[in-house]
């Protein structure tokens, strides 16, 4: 009995050993389980954004799987997907354990990434026109925007827009080029033409060079649109933008093509006045004054060649074009001037009155949007000649006039006045400056003293005759420093101020006479 019990125990121990050996063998051979080796951390729990996505036997596998998951999440589109992806591997040393396969871990990671997408940025295009920018969803929308600007002037669809790389820029910036239908056909068929008829084309061009030019008849001109280009600098760059940053194409077209109020420089031409400039540019006088610091009020003087600021309606993207046009018109011949060196530039005389002529014209007219900027006559046929206006004019620079004293307070202006000093006229023929007795009085302009002495109501007075036929008078003086017949220069001291004659107080009375009649001196003083 003892022997049987002993053998039975041996059999139980043997069975246990075989079972343990079988389990160990199974663990070694079973996929998904790791070898039993004492090598440190040999199994890693992978967390993505804090979420468990699987277990791996090598932490570098987790990085590889994340790259695969990101590619799968982004897809094959052109969008740029921004995703939070915080990867964490927690290692431990085990004798055996289960690891997940690649497909399982990557799939789990994709699901976590999709749940953590921050933003999807679309491949788009930013169009910059001067200081204006707009973001569009595609290159086709960019072309549609640009075509909308030229469509108004190209009703027949003769021109088209293309985007080309700007060779002057270091970065990949696109700019625009407008081609006519003929230019597009030439580009498309250039290689074929060169291969088939290159020699004949070269011969034609050679004979064209030596063939004498024949003046065109009116019927030879192809009237209409000749050239078309954008009048503003355009830049187009690729970018990745969020959906809300893109502008719908219809809205972009409206923004770019509608007229905006823009400031421009205007050069004063002969015959211009502030009111005329305001009316022609649809402005009020008040608005014109507000925009120009040099213009004080509606009576301010403007001179030919002066430059002022005006506003004109103009779209964000301007179009410049040239059109060949035919018309008939009455025209004026240029004025013929005959110079007279003995006259001042203020003197002129018409020797011959003009009459209009008539002509047929082909002209090249340049426009910026709807505004004509220049006109060049290409062919002209005169039906009957215009008769020019002939004007004799002076060449001598006339003398200038300055205020005859330093300082002083303007106490009485030119023209009608109420309650004058007893004995004085109610119509003031000059202007008065109140100033202390003894103030220096100067010649307003160079000339010859024609009178110097007492002048009844003027008190002590000086008259000076000037080279342009004008005369100046200085009254109510206390002392005269020049004599009759004496030549004086502009600014020379001729007297001292006073209070003589019919006067209400110390002052200088000053007059300018033209053809014997007093005028308002303030209009002639520099």
Q: Residue 19 in 3-state DSSP?
A: helix
In sequence order, the β-bridge partners of residue 321 are 228, 367
Among the listed residues 273, 264, 280, 267, the one whose alpha carbon sits nearest the alpha carbon of residue 298 = 273
Question: Which residue is associated with the tokens 């342009």?
Answer: 468
Cβ neighbours of 135 (radius 10 Å): 17
Question: Is pLDDT above 60 for 147?
Answer: yes
Q: How far is CA 101 from CA 33, 41, 86, 91, in A?
A: 11, 19, 21, 17
Give percent above pLDDT 70 in the chain. Answer: 83
pLDDT digits (tens, 9 = 90+) for 372-416: 889 999 999 999 999 999 999 999 888 999 999 999 999 888 988
Residue 121 CA: distances (Å) to CA of 79, 238, 252, 305, 437: 6, 12, 20, 54, 86
Tokens coding 180: 């006519």
Say if residue 272 is exposed, middle or buried (CB neighbours under 10 Å; 0-12, 13-18, 19+). middle
Residues 510, 441: contact at Cβ < 8 Å? no
Burial of 139-178, coded b for 16+ CB within 10 Å and e otherwise, reads eebbbbbbbbbbeebbeeebbbbebeebeeeeeeebbbeb
Q: Give residue 156's region: left, alpha or beta (phi > 0; psi -120 to 50).
A: alpha
CATH no. of 318-398 = 2.20.230.10
Q: pLDDT (tens digit, 9 = 90+) per residue, 257-311? A: 887 777 778 888 888 888 888 888 878 888 888 888 888 888 888 888 888 888 7
By the 8 A CB rule, do 509 and 432 touch? yes
**Can you give the pTM of this predicted structure?**
0.50
- Please state, in angstroms and rounded to a whole number, the distance separating the CA atoms of residues 398 and 345: 7
pLDDT at 440 (0 to 100): 96
Distance of CA 451 to the CA centre of its chain: 62
Return the closest-CA partner of residue 375 out of 386, 384, 367.
367
pLDDT at 34: 47
Q: What is the pLDDT of residue 14?
A: 63
Give the model's confidence band at 32: pLDDT under 50 very low, under 70 low, under 90 confident, else very high: very low
Q: What is the dotted CATH code of the domain comprising 409-523?
A: 2.70.70.10
Give the tens place of pLDDT for each residue, 59-117: 899 999 989 888 887 776 666 666 778 899 999 988 888 899 999 999 998 888 887 76
Tokens found for residue 153: 């002037």
- Whole-number pLDDT of residue 225: 92
Q: Which two tokens stand for residue 442?
A: 């100067």
What is the average pLDDT value for the chain, to the nearest integer? 84
**Predicted pLDDT at 415:** 84
Length of the chain in residues, anyone? 526
**pLDDT score at 124:** 87
DSSP secondary structure letters along 221-240: ---EEEEEEESS-EEEEEEE
Do β-strands 117-129 and 132-136 pair in parallel, antiparallel, or remain unpaired?
antiparallel
Q: With helix as H, strand as E and coil as C, how does 196-216 read?
A: HHHHHHHHHHHHHHHCCCCCC
Each residue's pLDDT tens digit, 450-497: 999 998 889 999 999 998 889 999 999 999 999 999 999 999 999 999
pLDDT score at 192? 53
Distance CA 414, CA 423 (A): 17
| First-to-final CA distance of the chain | 150
Query: What are the φ/ψ torsions at residue 142 (nearest 5 degrees)?
Result: -60, -45
| pLDDT in the model for residue 418 | 64
Residue 259 tokens read as: 């007229």
**Three-state DSSP class for 167?**
coil
Determine the Cα–Cα distance for residues 207 and 85; give it in Å rounded to an integer: 73
One DSSP character per residue, 462-522 reads EEEE-TTS-EEEEEEEEEE---TT-EE-TT-EEEEEB--SS-SSSEEEEEEEETTEEE-GG
Give the residue extent of every domain in the chain: 43-115, 318-398, 409-523
Distance separating alpha carbons of residues 421 and 509, to the nearest angstrom: 14
Distance between CA atoms of residues 317 and 369, nearest Å: 9
Angstrom distance (rounded) from CA 114 to CA 111: 5
Rg of the chain, C-alpha, whole Å: 48
């Amino acid at each position: 009995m003892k022997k049987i019990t002993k053998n039975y125990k041996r059999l139980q121990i043997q069975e246990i050993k075989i079972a343990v050996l079988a389990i160990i063998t199974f663990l070694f051979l079973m996929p998904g389980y790791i070898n039993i080796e004492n090598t440190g951390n040999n199994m890693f729990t992978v967390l993505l954004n804090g979420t468990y996505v699987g277990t791996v036997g090598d932490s570098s596998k987790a990085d590889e799987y994340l790259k695969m998951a990101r590619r799968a999440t982004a897809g094959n589109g052109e969008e740029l997907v921004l995703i939070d992806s915080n990867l964490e591997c927690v290692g431990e040393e085990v004798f055996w354990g289960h690891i997940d396969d690649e497909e399982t871990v990557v799939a789990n990671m994709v699901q976590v990434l999709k749940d953590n997408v921050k933003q999807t940025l679309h491949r788009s295009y930013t169009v910059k026109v001067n200081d204006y920018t707009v973001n569009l969803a595609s290159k086709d929308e960019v072309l549609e925007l640009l075509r909308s600007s030229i469509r108004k002037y190209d009703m027949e669809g003769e021109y088209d827009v293309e985007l080309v790389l700007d060779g002057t820029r270091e970065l990949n910036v696109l700019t625009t080029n407008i081609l006519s239908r003929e230019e597009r056909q030439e580009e498309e068929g250039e290689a074929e033409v060169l291969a088939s008829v290159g020699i004949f084309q070269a011969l034609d061009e050679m004979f064209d060079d030596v063939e004498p030019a024949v003046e065109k008849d009116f019927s030879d001109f192809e009237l209409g649109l000749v050239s078309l280009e954008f009048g503003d600098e355009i830049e187009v760059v690729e970018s990745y933008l969020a959906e809300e940053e893109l502008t719908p194409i219809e809205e972009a077209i409206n923004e770019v093509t509608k007229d905006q109020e823009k400031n421009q420089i205007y050069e004063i031409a002969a015959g211009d006045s502030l009111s005329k400039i305001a009316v022609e540019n649809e402005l009020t006088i008040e608005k014109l004054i507000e925009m120009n610091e040099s213009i004080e009020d509606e009576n301010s003087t403007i001179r030919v060649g002066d430059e002022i600021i005006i506003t004109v309606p103009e779209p964000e993207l301007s179009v410049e074009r040239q059109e060949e046009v035919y018309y008939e018109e009455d025209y004026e011949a240029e004025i013929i001037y005959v110079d007279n060196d003995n006259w001042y530039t203020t003197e002129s005389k018409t020797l011959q009155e003009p009459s209009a002529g008539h002509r047929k014209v082909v002209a090249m007219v340049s426009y910026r949007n709807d505004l004509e900027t220049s006109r060049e006559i290409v062919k002209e046929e005169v039906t009957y000649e215009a008769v020019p206006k002939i004007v004799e004019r002076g060449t001598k620079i006339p003398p200038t006039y300055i205020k005859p004293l330093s300082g002083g307070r303007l106490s009485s202006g030119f023209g009608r006045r109420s309650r004058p000093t007893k004995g004085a006229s109610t119509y003031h023929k000059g202007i008065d400056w109140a100033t202390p007795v003894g103030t220096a009085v100067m010649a307003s302009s160079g000339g010859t003293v024609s009178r110097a002495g007492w002048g009844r109501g003027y008190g002590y007075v000086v008259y000076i005759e000037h080279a342009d036929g004008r005369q100046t008078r200085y009254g109510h003086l206390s002392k005269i420093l020049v004599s009759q017949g004496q030549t004086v220069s502009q600014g020379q001291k001729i007297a001292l101020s006073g209070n003589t004659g019919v006067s209400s107080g110390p002052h200088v009375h000053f007059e300018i006479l033209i053809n014997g009649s007093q005028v308002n001196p303030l209009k002639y003083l520099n």
